[in-house]
Amino acid sequence: MFLRIDKLQIELPMPQEPDPNAANAVNELMGGRFGEMSTLMNYMYQSFNFRGRSRVRPYYDLIANIATEEIGHIELVSATVNSMLSDSMSHDDPLSTPLGGAKDLNNLHHFIVTGQGTLPGNSMGGHWNGDYVFNSGNLKLDLLHNFFLEVGARTQKLRVYEMTDHPVAREMLGYLLVRGGVHALAYAKALEELTGTDVKNLLPIPEIENNAFPEARKFEDAGYHRKLYRFSYDDFKEVSKIWKGPSPDGSGDLEVVDGPPEGSKEKPDFPDAPESFAPSVNPEELEEIARKL
Ligand code: MN
Ligand code: MN
């Protein structure tokens, strides 16, 4: 079962300059084939369907624990998309076509289907889909797939980074590049433990280090690339049988942190979008409801 903490894994800049087309590019990292919904659901189903976990506990613990971290990643990507969509339209009355600007954007569903919110889909309007989940049941094959999925996700994050310098997107990308680096290395180490093959020699894919990007370097300087969080009070302790030894960059030892990251102090509150009737067309009515509560 799961416990929910109402924080983001990192502090994000509050909503600022809108950029709805860049928000849509970021939406790929939510519900595209290599998005956070995919990493989440791949590891989650692999952990649900895992057979013989008592005999190979460290691998089960690793996959199950990383799955939990990915829940926080979908939350972070959605906060980014929502921040970038905020205040992108006029708040004028419905007769003045306040959503007129939306019809020329790349993804009309942000404005027709949702109240300017993240979609569980990709940047081309396609829906996230269960076929993106790979779970053969074979431990070696699933771990190999997870390594591939993390470096595929990294490739697409880097391309979205190259599409936008929006500060909210870049902050999220810096953090998730580092966390994805931890996951890719963790799966490489799991495969090495299991087979003796030095999979981590393949890294980085693509062939550019995270510290080439200032928003990622900041998190590496703070050691985030050496930490694997244990998202549980008492469970998943055997991740430390895989996540151990020196960090490949020579900066120190890999470390299992008992508990989640400290998280953000503030969680961005997204402004009303009255032109989308979100949360209501009438702020006075909401104030009245709040008074009654
Ligand atoms: Mn992730
Ligand atoms: Mn990951």
Which tens digits make up the pLDDT trace of 225-266?
Answer: 999 999 999 999 999 999 999 999 999 999 999 999 999 998
Residue 98 domain flag: no
6 CA distance to ligand 2 middle (Å): 20
Q: Number of structural domains, the chain?
A: 1
Residue 211 domain flag: yes
Residue 13 domain flag: no
What pLDDT shows up at residue 118?
A: 98
44 CA distance to ligand 1 middle (Å): 12
Contact predicate 16/157, CB 8 Å: no
Contact predicate 135/161, CB 8 Å: no
What pLDDT shows up at residue 271?
A: 93
What pLDDT shows up at residue 81?
A: 98
pLDDT over 90 (residue 278) = yes
262's CB contacts (< 8 A; 6+ apart) are none
* Encoded tokens for 279: 């949360």
What pLDDT shows up at residue 282?
A: 81
Mean pLDDT over each residue of the chain, to the nearest integer? 96
36 CA distance to ligand 1 middle (Å): 5
The residue with tokens 């209501």 is 280
3-state secondary structure of 215: helix
70 CA distance to ligand 1 middle (Å): 5
Which domain range does residue 87 map to? 20-92+103-292
What pLDDT shows up at residue 41?
A: 98
What pLDDT shows up at residue 283?
A: 77
CA–CA separation, 97 and 89 (whole Å): 10
pLDDT tens sequence across 128-164: 999 999 999 999 999 999 999 999 999 999 999 999 9
Contact predicate 50/62, CB 8 Å: no
183 CA distance to ligand 2 middle (Å): 5
What pLDDT shows up at residue 293?
A: 86
CA–CA separation, 172 and 215 (whole Å): 9
Residue 164 domain flag: yes
User: At 245, which CATH number?
Assistant: 1.20.1260.10
Residue 25 domain flag: yes
Residue 270 domain flag: yes
Q: Which parts of 52-179 are beta strand (E)?
A: none
Residue whose C-alpha is closest to residue 243's, from 187, 166, 200: 187
Which ligand has the nearest atom to the CA of 175? 1
What length does the chain have? 293
246 CA distance to ligand 1 middle (Å): 23
What pLDDT shows up at residue 156?
A: 98
pLDDT tens sequence across 32-77: 999 999 999 999 999 999 999 999 999 999 999 999 999 999 999 9
Residue 161 domain flag: yes
Among 1-5, 101-105, 243-247, 286-290, the range scoring the smallest mean pLDDT is 286-290
Q: How confident is the model at residue 31 (pLDDT cuts 50, 70, 90)?
A: very high
228 CA distance to ligand 2 middle (Å): 11
Which ligand has the nearest atom to the CA of 176? 1
Residue whose C-alpha is closest to residue 222's, from 158, 174, 168, 160: 174
CA–CA separation, 158 and 135 (whole Å): 26
